[in-house]
Amino acid sequence: MKYWADLHIHSKYSIATSKDCCPEHLELWARRKGLTVIGTGDFTHPAWREELREKLIPAEDGLWRLKPEYRVETAAIPGAPEVRFIVSGEISLIYKKNGRTRKVHHLLLLPGLEAAERLAGRLEKIGNIAADGRPILGLDSRALLEITLETCAEAIFIPAHIWTPHFSLFGANSGFDAIEECFEDLTPEITALETGLSSDPAMNWQLSALDRFLLVSNSDAHSPANLAREANLFATDLSYPAIRKALTPPGEGFLGTVEFFPEEGKYHWDGHRACGVRWAPAQTREYQGVCPVCGRKVTTGVLHRVEALGDRAPGEKPAGARRYERLVPLAQVIAAAEGVGEKTKKVRGIYGKLLQNCGPELVVLRETPLDEILKSAGPLTTEGIRRVRQGLLEINPGFDGEYGQVRIFQDEERQAFLGQAALFTFETGDEDRRSLPDSPVLPAVKKGEGEEREETAGLPELNPEQRKAVTAGAPQVLVVAGPGTGKTRTLVHRVEFLLEKGAEPAEITCVTFTRKAAAEMRERLKRLLTPVYGPRKAGAVRVGTFHQLSLDLLRKTPAWTKRTLVSEYELAGFFPEENGVRRALLAVSRLKNSNLTPDDPDVPEEWRDFYRRYQEFLREEGLLDYDEILVEAARLLREGLVPPGVRAGYRHLLVDEFQDLTPLQYQLLKLLAETGSTLFVIGDPDQSIYGFRGAGATVFADFRRDYPAAAEIRLRLNYRSTPVIISAAQHLISRNPAPGGRATLEPARPVAGGPPITYLPASGEKAESIAVVREIIRLVGGTDMLSAHGSFRGSKEGGNYSFGDLAVLFRTGRQAETLEKALCKEGLPYKVAGEKDLFYLPRVRETVTFLHSLVEEEDRLHLAALGLPCFFPGREAMDKLKALRRHDPGAFRAALALENQETFSPEAREKFSSYQAWREKYRSLLAEGVTAFLEEWIQDRGWEEAEEMERLRGMAALSNDPADFLARVLHGKEQDLEREGKRGPAPEYIRLMTIHAAKGLEFPVVLITGLEEGLLPLTGEEESPEEIEEERRLFYVGLTRAQKEVILFSAGRRRRFGARDTAPVLPSRFLQELPAETLQRREIKKKRAKPVQPGLF
Mind giving me the DSSP string for 530-591?
HHHHHHHHHHHSEEEEHHHHHHHHHHT-TTSPP-EE--HHHHHHT-TT-TTHHHHHHHHHHH
Residue range 161-178, pLDDT digits in tens:
999 887 899 998 789 999
User: What is the rounded average pLDDT of the residues 881-907?
Assistant: 82
Q: Residue 424 — pLDDT band, cuts 50, 70, 90?
A: very low
Mean pLDDT, residues 503-510 taken together: 95
Q: Is 401 left (phi over 0), alpha (psi -120 to 50) or beta?
A: left
CB neighbours of 567 closer than 8 A, spacing ≥ 6?
Answer: 625, 626, 839, 848, 969, 970, 971
- Measure the CA–CA gap between 288 and 1086, rounded to whole angstroms: 59
Q: Are the CB atoms for 874 and 866 separated by under 8 Å?
A: no
The CA-based angle 958-959-961, given to 5 degrees, is 155
pLDDT value, residue 1057: 62
- Comparing CA positions, the residue from 445, 461, 451, 378 lying closest to residue 412 is 461
Paired residues of 107 in beta bridges: 90, 158
Mean pLDDT check: name the lowest of 290-299, 365-374, 789-798. Answer: 789-798
Over residues 729-787, the pLDDT tens digits come to: 999 999 999 887 887 899 987 666 789 999 999 999 999 999 999 999 888 765 432 33
pLDDT surpasses 70 at 335? yes
- Nearest Cα to 776, choosing from 757, 749, 799? 799
**Lowest-confidence region among 64-78, 182-196, 958-972:** 958-972
- Residue-wise pLDDT for 233-259, tens only, equals 999 999 999 999 999 999 999 999 999
Please give the mean pLDDT across all residues of the chain.
Answer: 87
Cβ atoms < 10 Å from Cβ of 922: 18
Average pLDDT over every residue of 687-705: 89
**Distance from C-alpha of 540 to C-alpha of 547, rounded to nearest angstrom:** 19
Judging by DSSP bridges, how do beta strands 254-259 and 323-326 pair with one another?
Answer: parallel
pLDDT at 24 exceeding the cut of 80: yes
- Same fold for the pair 461-561+627-715 and 757-835+981-1081: yes
Give the pLDDT of residue 155. 98
First to last CA, the chain: 71
CA atoms within 13 A on the CB side of 29: 23
* Rounded Cα distance, 174 and 96, in Å: 10
Distance CA 936, CA 922 (A): 8
Where exactly are the structural domains of the chain?
Answer: 2-309, 329-423, 461-561+627-715, 564-621, 757-835+981-1081, 838-970
Distance, CA of 474 to CA of 796 (rounded, Å): 53
Between 224 and 444, the more confident residue is: 224
Yes or no: domain 838-970 corresponds to CATH 3.40.50: no
Q: Which helix (H) or strand (E) holds 441?
A: none
Query: Can you give the pLDDT at residue 986?
Result: 59
| Confidence at 987, pLDDT banded by 50, 70, 90 | low
Q: Could you tell me which residues are beta bridge partners of residue 623?
A: 564
CA-CA distance, 385 to 387, in Å (whole number)?
A: 5
Q: How large is the average pLDDT for residues 856-861?
A: 83
Contacts of residue 899, defined as CB under 8 A and 6 or more positions apart, other chains included, come to none
Write out pLDDT tens, residues 344-385: 899 999 999 999 999 999 999 999 999 999 999 989 999 999
- Beta bridge partners, 193, equal 215
* Rounded Cα distance, 385 and 383, in Å: 5
* CATH superfamily, with its number, for domain 757-835+981-1081: P-loop containing nucleotide triphosphate hydrolases (3.40.50.300)
Confidence tier at 141 by pLDDT (50, 70, 90): very high
H helix intervals, 594-722: 605-621, 626-638, 644-647, 663-672, 699-706
Percent of the chain scored above 70 by pLDDT?
Answer: 91
**Polymer length of the chain:** 1097
Measured CA distances, 128 to 108, 131, 138, 169, 796 (Å): 18, 6, 10, 23, 32
Is 1013 a residue whose pLDDT tops 60?
yes
In this structure, the strands spanning 652-655 and 508-512 are parallel
Strands 542-545 and 508-512, by their bridges, are parallel
Top CATH class of 2-309 equals alpha beta
Tell me what pLDDT residue 898 has.
75
Which of residues 701 and 694 earns the better pLDDT score? 701
- What pLDDT is attached to residue 1090? 41
Question: Do 1027 and 1019 form a contact (C-beta atoms < 8 A)?
Answer: yes
Nearest residue to 493 (alpha-carbon basis) of 512, 478, 472: 472
Which residues does residue 680 pair with via DSSP β-bridges, in sequence order?
Answer: 477, 654
Q: Is the separation of the CB atoms in 1014 and 1065 below 8 Å?
A: yes
Top CATH class of 461-561+627-715 equals alpha beta
Instruction: In whole angstroms, give the CA distance from residue 1016 to residue 1054.
Output: 13
CA distance 744 to 329: 42
Q: What is the pLDDT of residue 739?
A: 85
3-state secondary structure of 1074: coil
The predicted-structure confidence for 618-662, as pLDDT tens digits, reads as follows: 998 888 998 999 999 999 999 999 999 999 999 999 999 999 999
